[in-house]
């Protein structure tokens, strides 16, 4: 091969490396033929995919880091003023806030970092095919070298995500176009983005929209960063074309009139932005789809997984040690790497069907994304059935895993007998602790994890404050025995009812000596009624709906049926709450009109 031919071939290779990848460069999923502002990037380099297998922005949920880069050419005319910088920051933040307001189930939060970065190029002078020149140079000034500018951009996103501890990260390049006719690049572009990242590009004037409309244009491009396709007719996106983490079709596309014709920011920008409009198919492409209507969008609707290690015995006290690892299994994606941004919030165990208790999460396990856990079980000699479950931050629980454990080197279990009244009208309750002599300490809490509880010297009876809200509550108790060994937790259920019952009583119109009684109680049940004759001390009787007065000792002799002696009734519930006196009314007698037949 001649040197001239070799040089030509090398030049073609360099141009291909600098040009953005179009649809034909992607094999799976099927190539997306994009026009205008949505482009297909090359995949991340192996160095960024061998750990975690996570793209920079696969679905729009969770915590997102956004780096806004304002390139400033060295020795050229387009320098950023303080006013321009503030305006860009405000507009980009408004575009991000727009998405957070549209997607309450996505748990979205954004962390924005804006940096003015020197560049040896004037970016506004280069079109899409030459973007690699100034983007590579700018990212190099930020400290991200790489084989090409896409590798640099992926590395910059990964570094930002790791630094800020977010789930996703992306980069927004805003190129200063002030003073340039039309606010566009030489090829006519003024805003474009790469599907699922790693970056998007805007001019500061976003073409004919103007700098004060940067927010809606940025919001439109930001949807591309998380997988949404264009829907306006000129984009030539068919309704059957799929995209995004969930690989959903573009059902609202205006191309060939195939769509659902809904207003959306992916089809028209300004009005849709001002009216908060985004269609369901675009939402699904960025991952905002709750297919089972459980209030958790599909990418977050994940299931924790759990593995248990063989039981070990503590060398110090002979008690068993429960350990293992837990991780969150991501919602599967048809083409993209399956990724869960959920975390394991708690691993719990229970013994013989008792109280669920937390196990300490130690840190990262050997498996990617997994959390190791370990804890000593407070068991005495005997055979036990131990169950374990994991819970993630959206409340989903793993399948329960179990082990049978035998303990033989600790000693007999102390006879602990804590108790509380089943029902109370007082939020301050005395707990009867009933522990053997020599018990050192006790812990009482309304939280099964005892997170805010302190150990107190054992006493046979101790107070606890309930929440103050009527209803069923649980008090948890655990002990330290004479050797300082902790017990399992005991759960004591108690019904708090501070609300008096309500009701009424009236004389039966057909039998003035009988009372018809109606009563109800929200918290427990009505157990007693009290009759007051002419303001005397009430006579308390078991609750009944019909009361024959002339059969009650002490009533018939003091009450002449049918006279005007005032009578009141009170109601008392199972918690001891007593209502105010209610006057017994005299019901009107029924009057029947004669039937006239003509």
Q: What is the mean pLDDT of each run of 10 residues along the chain (598 residues)?
A: 36 36 32 61 79 84 98 82 97 98 98 96 94 97 96 96 97 92 91 97 95 97 98 94 98 93 96 98 98 97 95 93 94 95 94 93 56 93 97 95 95 97 96 97 95 95 94 97 96 96 92 91 94 89 91 64 74 96 73 44
- pLDDT one-digit tens code per residue, 27-84: 233 333 334 689 999 999 887 754 457 899 999 999 999 999 999 988 766 789 999 9
Burial of 556 (0-12, 13-18, 19+ CB in 10 A): middle
Domain extent for 90: 3-285
- 162, 246: one domain: yes
Closest CA to 442 of 487, 376, 380, 410: 487
492 and 506 share one domain: no
What pLDDT, on the 0 to 100 scale, is given for residue 45? 87
For 224, the enclosing helix (H) or strand (E) is helix 214-225
pLDDT at position 17: 37
Distance CA 202, CA 173 (A): 6
90, part of any domain? yes
CA dist 534 and 542 (Å) reads: 21
Q: What is the pLDDT, as a whole number, of residue 541? A: 94
- Give pLDDT, residue 559: 54
Residues 553 and 541: beta-carbon distance below 8 Å = no
Considering the entire predicted model, what is its pTM? 0.80
Decide if 142 is inside a domain.
yes
Final residue belonging to a domain, choices 496, 518, 533: 496
Domain C-terminal end among 357, 379, 407: 407
Q: What pLDDT is stored for residue 553 in this prediction?
A: 72
The count of domains in the chain is 4
Residue 240 maps to a domain: yes
Does residue 346 sit within a domain?
yes
Looking at the fold, whether 137 and 238 belong to one and the same domain comes out as: yes
146, part of any domain: yes
Strand order of the β-sheet with 502-508 is 546-548, 511-520, 502-508, 585-586
Looking at the fold, whether 271 and 329 belong to one and the same domain comes out as no
Shared domain check, 244 and 99: yes
Task: Say if residues 390 and 405 touch (Cβ distance below 8 Å).
Answer: no
- Is residue 418 a part of any domain in this protein? no
| Boundary residue ending a domain (469, 496, 523) | 496
Together in a domain, 245 and 310 = no
CB 32 within 8 A of CB 285: no
> What's the pLDDT score for residue 145?
94
Domain shared by 13 and 154, yes or no: yes
pLDDT of residue 25: 30
pLDDT of residue 78: 72
- Summarize pLDDT for 523-536 with one digit per residue, the tens: 899 999 999 988 88
Residue 416: inside a domain: no
Do 342 and 202 share a structural domain?
A: no
Q: Hey, which residues does 347 pair with through a beta bridge?
A: 359, 390
Residues 465 and 519 in one domain: no
Residue 558: predicted pLDDT: 55
85 & 201 share domain: yes
Q: Are residues 212 and 240 in the same domain?
A: yes
Give the CATH number of the domain where residue 401 resides: 2.60.40.650
- Does 122 map to a domain? yes
User: Domain holding 535: CATH number?
Assistant: 2.60.40
Same domain, 323 and 381: yes
CA distance 51 to 160: 16
Main-chain phi, psi angles of 522, to 5 degrees: -75, -45
């Amino acid at each position: 091969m001649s040197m001239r031919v070799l040089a030509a071939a090398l030049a073609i290779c360099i141009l291909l490396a600098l040009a953005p990848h179009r649809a034909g460069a992607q094999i799976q999923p099927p190539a997306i033929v994009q026009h205008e502002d949505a482009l297909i990037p090359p995949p991340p380099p192996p160095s960024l995919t061998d750990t975690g297998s996570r793209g920079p922005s696969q679905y729009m949920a969770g915590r997102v880091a956004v780096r806004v880069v304002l390139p400033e050419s060295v020795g050229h005319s387009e320098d950023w003023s303080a006013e321009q910088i503030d305006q860009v920051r405000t507009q980009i933040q408004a575009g991000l806030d727009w998405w957070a307001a549209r997607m309450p189930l996505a748990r979205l939060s954004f962390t924005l970092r804006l940096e003015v970065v020197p560049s040896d190029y004037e970016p506004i002078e280069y079109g899409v095919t030459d973007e690699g020149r100034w983007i590579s140079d700018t990212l190099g000034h930020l400290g991200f070298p790489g084989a090409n500018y896409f590798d640099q951009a992926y590395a910059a996103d990964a570094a930002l995500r790791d630094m800020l501890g977010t789930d996703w990260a992306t980069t927004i390049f805003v190129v200063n176009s002030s003073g340039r006719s039309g606010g566009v690049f030489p090829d006519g572009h003024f805003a474009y983005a790469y599907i699922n990242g790693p970056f998007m590009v805007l001019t500061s004037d976003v073409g004919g929209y103007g700098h004060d409309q940067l927010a809606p244009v940025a919001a439109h491009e930001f949807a591309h960063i998380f997988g949404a396709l264009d829907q306006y007719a000129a984009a030539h996106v068919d309704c059957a074309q799929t995209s995004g983490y969930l690989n959903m079709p573009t059902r609202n596309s205006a191309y060939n009139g195939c769509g659902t014709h809904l207003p959306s920011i992916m089809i028209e920008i300004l009005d849709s932005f001002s009216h908060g409009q985004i269609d369901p198919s675009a939402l699904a492409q960025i991952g905002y789809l709750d297919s089972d209507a459980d209030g958790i969008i599909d990418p977050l609707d994940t299931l924790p997984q759990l593995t248990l290690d063989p039981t070990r015995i503590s060398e110090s006290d002979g008690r068993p040690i429960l350990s293992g690892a837990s991780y969150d299994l991501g919602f599967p994606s048809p083409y993209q790497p399956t990724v869960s941004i959920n975390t394991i919030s708690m691993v719990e165990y229970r013994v013989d069907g008792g109280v669920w208790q937390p196990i300490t999460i130690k840190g990262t396990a050997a498996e990617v994304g997994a959390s190791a856990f370990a804890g000593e079980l407070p068991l005495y000699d005997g055979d036990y059935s131990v169950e374990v479950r994991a819970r993630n931050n959206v409340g989903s629980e793993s399948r329960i895993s179990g082990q049978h454990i035998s303990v033989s080197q600790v000693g007999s279990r102390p006879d602990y007998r804590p108790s509380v009244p089943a029902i109370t009208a007082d939020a301050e309750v005395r707990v009867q602790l009933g522990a053997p002599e020599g018990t050192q300490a006790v812990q009482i809490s309304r939280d099964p994890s005892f997170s805010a509880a302190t150990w107190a010297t054992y006493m046979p009876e101790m107070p606890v404050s309930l929440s103050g809200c009527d209803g069923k509550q649980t008090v948890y108790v655990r002990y330290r025995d004479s050797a300082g060994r902790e017990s399992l937790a005991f759960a004591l259920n108690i019904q708090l009812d501070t609300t008096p019952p309500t009701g009424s009583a009236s004389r039966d119109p057909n039998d003035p000596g009988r009372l018809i009684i109606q009563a109800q109680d929200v918290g427990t049940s009505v157990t007693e009624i009290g009759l007051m004759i002419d303001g005397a001390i009430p006579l308390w009787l078991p609750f009944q709906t019909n009361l024959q007065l002339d059969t009650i000792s002490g009533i018939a002799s003091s009450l002449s049926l049918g006279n005007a002696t005032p009578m009141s009734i009170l109601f008392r519930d199972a918690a001891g709450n007593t209502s105010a006196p209610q006057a017994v009314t005299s019901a009107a007698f029924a009057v029947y009109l004669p039937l006239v037949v003509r």
